[in-house]
Each structure stands twice: as C-alpha cells, then as structure tokens.
C-alpha cells in the first residue's frame, strides 16, 4: 500500500491544531475545577494571603467557569469560534491578577503556577487567533433552508 506523503505545512498545521486542543482541554479542566471550587466552597474557606471580598471571589469563579466553557464549546460545535481566543484572553487577565495577588501576599514560588497557566492561556489566545483559527460551520444556503422547511403534500387516501 503506497504511503501518502503530506506537505510539511499540512503536517505542521495538524500538529499545531492538536497541540492547541490539548492545551485547551487541560486549561478547561483547570479552570472548571478552580472556578467550580470558588462557587461551591464556603466564602470563609476562600481566604488567601490577601483578603479579597467574597463576592469578588464568586465573580472570579463565574469568570473562570465561563472561560473554561469558552475554550472548548465554540470549537466543538463550530459556532462563534472567535469566542475561543477571547475566552483565553480573559483567562490571561485573571491569571495576571492571580499572580499579582500571590506576589503581594509575599509568596514568590506559588506565583509561578498562575504565571505558567497564564502563559498557556496566552498561547491558546494567539494560536486560535492567528496561527490555527478554529473552522466555522459552513452556513446553510437559502435553498437548503427552504427545502428543510417545506413539507411534502399528503396524498388523499
């Protein structure tokens, strides 16, 4: 059976797309967990090195959860795929804040976690915006829409 050789650009594009999907899935799991915990856990347990209002922590939890969904759902359903880099950009902003708050609290080593997560989110934002944008579902033509809406006449019995 002859082996089909793909052009290097196509192999690279597939590899890039697969890498971005892997990073997106991992980030989605991280942010679903982190955001879900901020929404479920009592506010008293959310205290960190810097005191932040409980309502603000809940807001961050909602943003992280929605950001996680925004990393995955547009690409899966191929609807509004431009939302994926926007969701990743929003998560980068949250990670900048998390890094800042961690550093203000005097914790240098733990600040590396949000730095790394934010870097991965920025990689997804740039990758899905410029390098390997997600494909959009092809629009249905007017003829296709009309054909799906017309009902065949019933035959008299």
pLDDT per position as a tens digit, 36-89: 999 999 999 998 889 999 999 999 999 999 999 999 999 999 999 999 999 999
- For residue 93, CA distances in Å to 4, 35, 44, 122, 155 come to 44, 15, 25, 9, 62
Q: Tokens 């005191």 label which residue?
A: 51
3-state secondary structure the chain: CCCCCCCHHHHHHHHHHHHHHHHHHHHHHHHHHHHHHHHHCCHHHHCCCCCCCHHHHHHHHHHHHHHHHHHHHHHHHCCCCCHHHHHHHHHHHHHHHHHHHHHHCCCCHHHHHHHHHHHHHHHHHHHHHHHCCCCCCCCCCHHHHHHHHCCCCCCCC
Task: List the domain boundaries for the chain.
Answer: 11-136
pLDDT of residue 6: 55
Separation between Cα atoms, residue 84 and residue 70, nearest integer Å:
5
pLDDT of residue 49: 82
By mean pLDDT, which of 12-16, 36-40, 55-59, 139-143 is the weakest? 139-143
Closest of 44, 36, 83 to residue 64, by C-alpha? 36
The set of residues, in sequence order, having a beta carbon less than 8 Å from that of 124 and lying 6+ positions away, is 20, 23, 24, 27, 71, 84, 85, 88
Region 1-16 average pLDDT: 67
pLDDT for 138 equals 82
Task: Dig out the tokens for 8 from the structure.
Answer: 């290097």
């Amino acid at each position: 059976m002859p082996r089909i050789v793909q052009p290097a650009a196509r192999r690279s594009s597939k590899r890039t797309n697969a890498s971005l999907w892997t990073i997106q899935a991992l980030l989605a799991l991280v942010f679903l967990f982190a955001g879900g915990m901020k929404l479920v856990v009592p506010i008293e347990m959310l205290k960190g090195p810097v005191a932040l209002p409980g309502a603000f922590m809940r807001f961050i939890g909602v943003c992280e959860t929605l950001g996680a969904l925004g990393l995955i759902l547009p690409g899966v359903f191929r609807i509004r795929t431009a939302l994926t880099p926007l969701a990743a950009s929003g998560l980068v902003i949250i990670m900048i804040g998390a890094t800042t708050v961690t550093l203000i609290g005097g914790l240098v080593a733990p600040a590396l976690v949000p730095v790394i997560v934010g870097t991965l989110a920025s990689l997804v934002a740039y990758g899905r915006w410029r390098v390997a944008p997600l494909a959009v579902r092809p629009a249905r033509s007017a003829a296709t829409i009309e054909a799906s809406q017309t009902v065949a006449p019933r035959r008299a019995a």
